[in-house]
Amino acid sequence: MSFLLRQPRRGADRYYAEGHWNSDTIPGLLRRWATERPDKPAIVEPGRRFTYAQLAAGMERAAAQLGAAGVDRGDAVIVRVPDSANFVIASAAAHAVEAVAVPVVQSAGEAEIAAIVERMKVGAYAGAADAWPCLDGLLRLDLDRSDLCEPGATPPAGYLPDPDALMEVMFTSGTTGRPKGVMNTANTKLAGLRGFLEAVEVGPDDVWGVAAPMAHQAGWAYTYLLALYTGATAVMVGRGDARRMLDTLAAEAVTISFLVPTHAMDLMAAYKADPERWDLKLRIVLTGTTATPAETVADIIERWGARPML
């Protein structure tokens, strides 16, 4: 399948001049915060915390694996990894060697992965050690090495991530037909976030709760990348058990989270059953993908004291 690998300059100059686009890339943001605030918590997941210095080091070592295997501009790196620091490391490593990250949900099976391999030039795979024929010949990115996030890693030589080059293909669910690959450069991905950040007062002291899947826009663009862009902390909240999710939101003093309506409704129902258990610090609740019931919106304001943004 042929892909547009770089945004044409037609129209782009205006976006740069108006400040909608700039030179930011995901590897560049990680490197910036690793330099400016190396010891700040970047990601909190069950049982482990990663500073920005550690997260950037993990990206550099994973990128070195990709580069050594010959993965290069335009090659795809399938990222089938749980919501975690490793998801960020694998995705950012692909961008760092000018390749294309292709995030997929954990539930994706052999048929879904084979379809991506058929349609794209795939060079590497980050995910479970499945013995699927479609993965034969691909580099298996090693995210379990003990030194992955140790200090001392340096950017692999010879690469300069381009904010206008294709950096990500996120496939749609395929509910109404064959899944479609939605292509983004760093600029097309981050431009909408810049508009949000101009309108809403958020910053490095906020703590973002990642509840939606990171292989979807809700968990990636509308939660994690906003945390990364502002040099804030992202907490992996998980899904499924509303009381445990509330425990995490309270324990980590999460201030902002994107909650799909079903998550918001489930969390609110659990909270209302035992409101004294949780001292939530939420001040903004983003929600979308479908309509959120008016009662839930009112409860977010009255019970959590948060600002809902629909």
Distances from the Cα of 220 to the Cα of 76, 186, 275, 285, angstroms: 18, 13, 30, 16
Residue 165 lies in a domain: yes
Last residue of a domain, which of 183, 209, 224?
A: 183
Instruction: Indicate whether 169 and 246 sit together in one domain.
Output: no
Considering the chain, what is the average pLDDT of its residues?
94
Instruction: Indicate whether 148 and 65 sit together in one domain.
Output: yes
Alpha helices by DSSP H, 10-154: 12-17, 26-36, 52-68, 85-96, 110-119
220 token code pair: 């990636």
Residue 145 lies in a domain: yes
Last residue of a domain, which of 129, 155, 183?
A: 183
Question: Going by C-beta distance under 8 Å and a sequence separation of 6 or more, which residues neighbour residue 197?
Answer: 226, 229, 230
For the segment 73-79, the average pLDDT, to the nearest whole number, is: 96
User: Over pLDDT 70: what percentage of the chain?
Assistant: 96
Instruction: Indicate whether 81 and 172 sit together in one domain.
Output: yes
pLDDT of residue 196: 92
Instruction: Indicate whether 59 and 171 sit together in one domain.
Output: yes
The total of structural domains in the chain comes to 2
What are the pLDDT digits (tens) for 95-113? 999 999 999 999 999 999 9
For the segment 180-192, the average pLDDT, to the nearest whole number, is: 93
CATH code at position 104 = 3.40.50.980
Instruction: Indicate whether 305 and 269 sit together in one domain.
Output: yes
pLDDT of residue 282: 99
- Domain encompassing residue 114: 52-183
User: Over pLDDT 90: what percentage of the chain?
Assistant: 87
pLDDT of residue 1: 45
285 token code pair: 């609740």
Residue 32 lies in a domain: no
For the segment 68-91, the average pLDDT, to the nearest whole number, is: 97
Last residue of a domain, which of 183, 211, 226?
A: 183
Residue 62 lies in a domain: yes
Residue 188 lies in a domain: no
Residue 41 lies in a domain: no
Looking at residue 216, its amino acid is H
Residue 4 has pLDDT above 90, yes or no: no
- Cα 60–Cα 62–Cα 67 angle in degrees, nearest 5: 90
Instruction: Indicate whether 89 and 129 sit together in one domain.
Output: yes
pLDDT of residue 2: 46
Instruction: Indicate whether 167 and 266 sit together in one domain.
Output: no
Q: Are 238 and 45 in contact (CB under 8 A)?
A: no
Question: Going by C-beta distance under 8 Å and a sequence separation of 6 or more, which residues neighbour residue 42?
Answer: 33, 50, 51, 52, 54, 55, 85, 228, 233, 234
Residue 273 lies in a domain: yes
Residue 29 lies in a domain: no
- Calculate the CA 87 to chain-centre distance: 7
Q: Residue 235's beta-bridge partner residues?
A: 44, 209
Instruction: Indicate whether 98 and 207 sit together in one domain.
Output: no
Q: Which helix (H) or strand (E) holds 199?
A: helix 186-199
Looking at residue 302, its amino acid is E
For the segment 50-57, the average pLDDT, to the nearest whole number, is: 99
What are the pLDDT digits (tens) for 259-289? 999 999 999 999 999 999 999 999 999 998 8
- First-to-last C-alpha distance (Å) of the chain: 36
Q: Are 139 and 123 in contact (CB under 8 A)?
A: yes
Q: Are 264 and 287 in contact (CB under 8 A)?
A: yes
pLDDT of residue 8: 62
For the segment 145-158, the average pLDDT, to the nearest whole number, is: 95
Of 4, 3, 7, 2, nearest in space to 187 by CA = 7
Residue 172 has pLDDT above 90, yes or no: no
Residue 59 has pLDDT above 50, yes or no: yes
Instruction: Indicate whether 123 and 209 sit together in one domain.
Output: no
Looking at residue 74, its amino acid is G
Q: In the 3-class helix/strand/coil scheme, how is 234-255 assigned residue by residue? A: EEECCCCCHHHHHHHHHHCCCC
Distances from the Cα of 185 to the Cα of 6, 198, 206, angstroms: 8, 21, 26
Instruction: Indicate whether 146 and 214 sit together in one domain.
Output: no
Instruction: Indicate whether 179 and 204 sit together in one domain.
Output: no
pLDDT of residue 141: 98
What are the pLDDT digits (tens) for 6-43? 556 667 888 898 888 999 999 999 999 999 999 999 99
Residue 160 has pLDDT above 90, yes or no: yes
Instruction: Indicate whether 208 and 286 sit together in one domain.
Output: yes
| Per-residue pLDDT band at 173 (split at 50, 70, 90) | confident
